[in-house]
């Protein structure tokens, strides 16, 4: 068994990590680390875990993690808080999967520009591996610090990569229009995600300046070798979970839907969690799973990519376990097939 700990245990992504790991045949959760006062039972914070886990929340204590022979920590903290803790875990010889954005952007100058603060762990940033298993499974297998990819970026990167790699679209004229359920904002209440504010309403936010923009561009530049520019607008939509992205790209020359489908099918051959669907995707079809559903249309002067996923599973905790499986030499799909 591989002993693991979950950090930020009271949050939404931590709950999903715990739920997936409880059915993982090679994992034992030995610590749930939390700032919650009075070491409450994990199941009292997440009632859906009643009778499924009997651990209590505990404070972060490196000595105790070492005593418990923890080999991997799933860090489910907000950005900023993550990079304060992770260097200590890595120094203690524990592998880390970071679900926050702290280690995703390779250039600390770009991190500061988009996240508004200096990066605190430049050497960790240099060694971290961006964890998109469809593209860099070899690096993932050997890394000690894994930067789990963002929720919105995965729909855009996975939808656009085949088109960019095959040089089918103009890389600097891409529009990504995304909608997310409210759990994307985490469990901490905020005015914008308060029920009367967001229910029965759809609204855009961070137009043209959302922090996931440079992550999409960085990953797509890496796979395509070209400069990529994305205009990204996210929207909040009154549902619990799910992300839907509608992506508009300008083809360099005429291409049929059939040709695109054949190319994408070949590109993602043997990738267990990419589904090229023959119908228009809907979030309800991938919610609760680690799948990303993709569909391609040629319409007017555009190729339109439609992508749907569960923000908490494929967008965060599911792909984190997929990465964990690769890091520990296990079949990629372990504990993740519905």
Ligand X SMILES: NC(=O)c1ccc[n+]([C@@H]2O[C@H](COP(=O)([O-])OP(=O)(O)OC[C@H]3O[C@@H](n4cnc5c(N)ncnc54)[C@H](OP(=O)(O)O)[C@@H]3O)[C@@H](O)[C@H]2O)c1
Interface contacts to ligand X, rule CB under 6 A: 8-14, 34-36, 76-79, 81, 99-101, 150-151, 183-184, 186-188, 311-312, 315-316
Residue 17 · residue 7 · CB < 8 Å: no
Residue 65 or residue 276: which is nearer to ligand X going by CB? Answer: 65
CB of 259 to ligand X, least distance (A): 33
Write down the residue that tokens 């995304």 correspond to. 178
User: Taking the complex as a whole, how short is the minimal distance between the CB of residue 92 and ligand X, in angstroms?
Assistant: 18
**Closest alpha carbon to 73 in 25, 138, 123, 14:** 14
Rounded to the nearest 10°, the torsion over CA 259, 231, 121, 36 is: -100
Q: Residue 41 CB, nearest distance to ligand X (Å)?
A: 13
The residue among 65 and 312 lying less far from ligand X, judged by its C-beta, is: 312
* Catalytically annotated residues: 151
**CA 286 – CA 148 distance, rounded (Å):** 19
Q: Which is nearer to ligand X, 83 or 306 (CB)?
A: 83
Q: Considering beta carbons, is residue 138 or 192 the nearer one to ligand X?
A: 192
Least distance CB 29 / ligand X (angstroms)? 14
Contact present, 327 and 147 (Cβ < 8 Å): no
Quote the tokens at residue 238: 């009154």
Is residue 243 within 8 A of residue 309, CB to CB? The reply is yes
Measured CA to CA, the distance from residue 168 to residue 177 in angstroms comes to 20
Bridge partner list, 179: 235, 244
CB of 128 to ligand X, least distance (A): 14
Minimum distance of ligand X from residue 203's CB (angstroms): 17
Residues contacting 307, CB < 8 A, separation 6+: 155, 156, 158, 159, 243, 244, 245, 247, 281, 292, 293, 294, 295
Q: Which CB atom, from 9 or from 168, has the smaller least distance to ligand X?
A: 9
Asked if residue 309 lies in contact with residue 145, where contact means CB atoms within 8 angstroms, the answer is no
Answer yes or no: are the C-beta atoms of 296 and 260 closer than 8 Å: yes
Question: Whose Cβ is closer to ligand X: residue 118's or residue 226's?
Answer: 118
Residue in the shown chain whose Cβ atom is closest to ligand X: 11
Strand partners, 331: none
What is the rounded CA–CA span in Å between residue 266 and residue 271?
A: 10
């Amino acid at each position: 068994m591989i002993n693991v700990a979950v950090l930020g245990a009271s949050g939404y992504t931590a709950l999903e990590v715990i739920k997936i790991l409880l059915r993982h045949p090679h994992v034992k959760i030995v610590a749930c680390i939390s700032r919650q006062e009075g070491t409450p039972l994990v199941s009292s914070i997440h009632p859906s875990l009643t009778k499924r886990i009997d651990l209590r929340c505990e404070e972060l204590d490196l000595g105790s993690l070492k005593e418990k022979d923890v080999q991997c920590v799933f860090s489910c903290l907000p950005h900023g808080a993550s990079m304060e803790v992770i260097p200590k875990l890595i120094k203690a010889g524990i592998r880390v999967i970071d679900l926050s954005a702290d280690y995703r952007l390779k250039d600390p100058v770009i991190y500061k520009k988009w996240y508004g603060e200096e990066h605190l762990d430049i050497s960790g940033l240099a060694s971290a591996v961006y964890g998109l298993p469809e593209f860099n499974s070899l690096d993932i297998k050997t890394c000690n610090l894994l930067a789990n990819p963002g929720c919105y970026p995965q729909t855009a990167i996975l939808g656009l990569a085949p088109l960019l790699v095959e040089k089918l679209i103009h890389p600097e004229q891409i529009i990504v229009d995304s909608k997310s359920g409210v759990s994307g904002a985490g469990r901490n209440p905020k005015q914008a995600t308060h029920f009367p504010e967001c229910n029965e309403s759809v609204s855009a936010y961070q137009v043209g300046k959302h922090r996931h923009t440079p992550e999409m561009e960085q990953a797509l530049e890496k796979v395509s070798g070209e400069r990529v520019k994305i205009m990204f607008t996210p929207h909040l939509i009154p549902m619990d979970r799910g992300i839907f992205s509608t992506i508009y790209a300008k083809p360099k020359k005429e291409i049929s839907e059939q040709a695109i489908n054949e190319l994408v099918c070949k590109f993602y051959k043997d990738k267990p969690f990419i589904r090229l669907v023959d119908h228009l995707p809907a979030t309800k079809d991938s919610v609760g799973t680690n799948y990303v559903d993709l569909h391609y249309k040629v319409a007017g002067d555009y190729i339109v990519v439609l992508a749907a996923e569960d923000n908490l599973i494929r967008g965060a905790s599911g792909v984190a376990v997929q990465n964990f499986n690769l890091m520990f030499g296990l079949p990629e799909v372990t504990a993740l097939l519905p």
